[in-house]
């Protein structure tokens, strides 16, 4: 370690440090082959972590400064080779999940978050330097607890933002629908100028309020639509004929009823009785002129503006349909907007818009479906994965990418001809093989952290001596950890529930927060394409997949 530090080895980026280590193998006698393999494993894990789960540069540099302490712990502590179980792994997993949305320029909320993250990094550094396991355990537990509380606070803020956006969307939809209804009537009739002004003003505002309050399927909406049509028709010269008694009687009944109906639905003027009387008086005066057979000056009325293009394509791109609220993205901006770390807060199918929030739960910006779909295709927008990130990269650097490799590690080691245990290697590039206890810890690393996760609610765990939950139809038990390779970077998730009625599997992260949901067919399709790994040696999922594929009707 002293030789490494003398060469400023830890000032290199992890990927460059791996190459420097490869070039220097054999030149540093202070390091054994086993130590070299362990250090390379750690560096490769950090390189995967920085690329697959990127943080803002300021935070990345703070985390990278932990490399000397992490390297010393990896070389001196056999427990460090067990991804997900060591408290330092849990701390880094939680820090990444908590910091994924931080970026400069977030104001006071961002400064507070940055201070908390930097404090946690320094606490981790101090605990690693002193080899204080109890301090590491306490730090990991405290960070996980505070992260859950912060996630809930952020969720409440995002939900308020989404509700506000839904309200704006509902209001805009009501404006557009009310304008469409009134424009249909105006397109068929010319009206007195003052009546046209009334319909485009107070009456339009009142119609919008009726639609917002009662909805488009309500009798109130049907009634205001009828009133609008009858009002315009009642002011036409041919609406009343002195020669036809029946038509005149109908017209008289209509103009007698209209003032009261207008008063009932003039919601925009309900607190101004004088304005209501003045507006209704204009209508009554026009009717009186017609009754006296006095001509009205009629003019075409300009239609109301309707928001949004009428011929907008309502089809939803497949990439957009698969998005879930709560996902984080890094979106490269153009013009005044730079790169932004944002969370999807709301999908608005009606307006074909996506609403994004920042880490403080405030609105960042909105993008159209087509625009964001194009950004994903151009790679100017990418998803930011979170949850178990560092632990997953440790496994990836060890070459554990399939269920078969996991089960091979979980099986008892073969016996040699002399009766001893035949040496095997659990990590790539390790020569000579590590000692028996080191190999056992690597085996446990891929099993133990996935069997009992303290970050999930206790009712989702079960003791080693208890009976596991009843297997699901595809051979998956609740609590099973799975690695998904249909996304970049790969996702580590735990099966939280199976909705049998909808045929959906729901997966969560270490904090119990939903990551994704898949149907039975989708999950089976991923398994058939070898895009999903089951990190659970007891699972019979692959056997079920093979059996389902081999079963044919008849």
Of 158-167, 323-332, 399-408, 457-466, which range is least confident?
A: 457-466
> pLDDT digits over 229-248, tens only?
999 988 887 766 656 667 77
Most confident of 220-229, 307-316, 461-470, 500-509: 220-229
Mean pLDDT score, 521-549? 64
Q: Is a pLDDT exceeding 80 seen at residue 120?
A: yes
Q: Is a pLDDT exceeding 80 seen at residue 430?
A: no
* Nearest-angstrom CA–CA distance, 412 and 409: 8
* Nearest-angstrom CA–CA distance, 191 and 197: 9
Of 9-13, 284-288, 341-345, 361-365, which range is least confident?
A: 9-13
Confidence (pLDDT) at 550: 56
Q: List for the chain the helix, strand, coil content (%; round to 5).
A: 55, 10, 35
| Structure-block tokens of residue 326 | 């709560």
Q: Is a pLDDT exceeding 70 seen at residue 531?
A: yes
Task: Please say whether the beta carbons of 277 and 239 come within 8 A.
Answer: no
Q: Give the Å distances, CA to CA, from 497 to 148, 480, 507, 516.
A: 20, 10, 7, 11
Of 241-255, 315-329, 418-432, which range is least confident?
A: 418-432
| Structure-block tokens of residue 179 | 């304008």
Q: Is a pLDDT exceeding 70 seen at residue 211?
A: yes
Confidence (pLDDT) at 8: 56
* Nearest-angstrom CA–CA distance, 363 and 150: 18
Residue 552 banded pLDDT, cuts 50, 70, 90? very low
Residue 397 banded pLDDT, cuts 50, 70, 90? confident
Confidence (pLDDT) at 481: 79
Q: Is a pLDDT exceeding 50 seen at residue 213?
A: yes
Residue with tokens 């930097």, as numbered in its chain: 118
Tally Cβ neighbours within 10 Å of residue 57. Answer: 10
Residues 6+ away with beta carbon under 8 Å from 60: 50, 54
What stretches of 174-232 adopt beta strand conformation (E)?
Answer: none
Task: Please say whether the beta carbons of 543 and 497 come within 8 A.
Answer: no
Task: Please say whether the beta carbons of 488 and 392 come within 8 A.
Answer: no
Q: Is a pLDDT exceeding 50 seen at residue 466?
A: no
Confidence (pLDDT) at 384: 92
Q: Which residue(s) pair with 353 in the sheet?
A: 348, 368
Task: Please say whether the beta carbons of 381 and 369 come within 8 A.
Answer: no
How many degrees, rounded to 5, is the angle at CA 9 between CA 3 and CA 15? Answer: 140
Of 134-138, 377-381, 420-424, which range is least confident?
A: 420-424
Average model confidence (pLDDT) across the chain: 78
Residue 15 banded pLDDT, cuts 50, 70, 90? low
**Comparing 501 with 543, which gets the higher pLDDT?**
501
Q: Is a pLDDT exceeding 80 seen at residue 420?
A: no
Confidence (pLDDT) at 119: 93
> pLDDT digits over 262-319, tens only?
999 999 888 899 999 999 998 999 888 888 888 889 999 999 998 765 555 678 888 8
How many degrees, rounded to 5, is the angle at CA 398 between CA 381 and CA 543? Answer: 85
């Amino acid at each position: 370690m002293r030789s490494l530090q003398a060469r400023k080895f830890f000032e290199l980026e992890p990927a460059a440090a791996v190459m420097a280590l490869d070039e220097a193998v054999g030149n540093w006698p202070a390091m054994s082959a086993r130590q070299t393999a362990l250090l390379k494993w750690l560096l490769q894990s950090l390189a995967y972590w920085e690329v697959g789960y990127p943080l803002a540069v300021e935070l990345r540099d703070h985390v990278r400064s932990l490399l000397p302490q992490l390297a010393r712990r990896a070389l001196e502590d056999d427990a460090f080779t067990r991804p997900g179980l060591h408290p330092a792994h849990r701390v880094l997993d939680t820090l990444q999940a908590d910091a994924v949305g931080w970026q400069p320029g977030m104001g006071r909320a961002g400064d507070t978050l940055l201070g908390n993250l930097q404090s946690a990094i320094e606490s981790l550094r101090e605990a690693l330097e002193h080899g204080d396991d109890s301090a590491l355990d306490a730090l990991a537990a405290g960070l996980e607890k505070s992260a859950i509380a912060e996630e809930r606070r952020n969720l409440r803020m995002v939900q308020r933002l989404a509700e506000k956006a839904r309200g704006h969307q509902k209001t805009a939809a009501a404006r557009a629908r009310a304008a469409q209804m009134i424009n249909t009537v105006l397109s068929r009739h010319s009206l007195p100028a003052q009546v046209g002004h009334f319909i485009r003003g107070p009456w339009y505002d009142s119609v919008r309020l009726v639609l917002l309050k009662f909805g488009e399927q309500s009798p109130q909406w049907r009634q205001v639509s009828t009133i609008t049509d009858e009002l315009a028709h009642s002011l036409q010269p041919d609406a009343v004929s002195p020669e036809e008694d029946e038509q005149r009687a109908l017209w008289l009944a209509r103009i007698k009823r209209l003032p009261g109906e207008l008063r009932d639905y003039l919601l925009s003027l309900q607190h101004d009785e004088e304005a209501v009387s003045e507006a209704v008086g204009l209508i009554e005066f026009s009717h009186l002129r017609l009754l006296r057979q006095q001509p009205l000056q009629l003019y075409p009325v300009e239609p109301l503006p309707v928001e949004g293009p009428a011929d907008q394509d309502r089809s939803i791109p497949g990439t957009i349909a698969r998005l879930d609220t709560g996902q984080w993205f890094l979106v490269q901006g153009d013009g005044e907007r730079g790169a932004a770390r944002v969370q999807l807060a709301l999908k608005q199918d009606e307006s074909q818009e996506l609403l994004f929030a920042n880490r403080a739960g405030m609105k960042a910006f909105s993008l159209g479906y087509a625009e964001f779909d194009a950004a994903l295709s151009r790679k100017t927008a990418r998803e930011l994965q979170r949850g178990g990130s560092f632990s997953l990269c440790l496994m990836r650097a060890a070459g554990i990418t399939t269920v078969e490799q996991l089960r091979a590690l979980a099986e008892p080691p073969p016996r040699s001809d002399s009766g001893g245990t035949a040496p095997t290697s659990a990590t790539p590039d390790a020569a000579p093989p590590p000692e028996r206890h080191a190999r056992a810890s690597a085996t446990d690393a891929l099993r133990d952290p996935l069997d009992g996760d303290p970050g999930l609610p206790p009712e989702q765990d079960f003791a080693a001596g208890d009976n596991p939950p009843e297997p699901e139809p595809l051979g998956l038990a609740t609590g099973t950890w799975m690695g998904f390779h249909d996304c970049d970077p790969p996702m580590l998730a735990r099966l939280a529930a199976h909705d049998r009625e909808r045929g959906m599997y729901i997966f969560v992260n270490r904090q119990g927060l939903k990551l994704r949901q898949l149907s039975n067919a989708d999950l089976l399709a991923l398994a058939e394409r070898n895009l999903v790994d089951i990190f659970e040696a007891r699972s019979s999922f692959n056997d079920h997949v093979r059996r389902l594929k081999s079963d044919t009707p008849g």
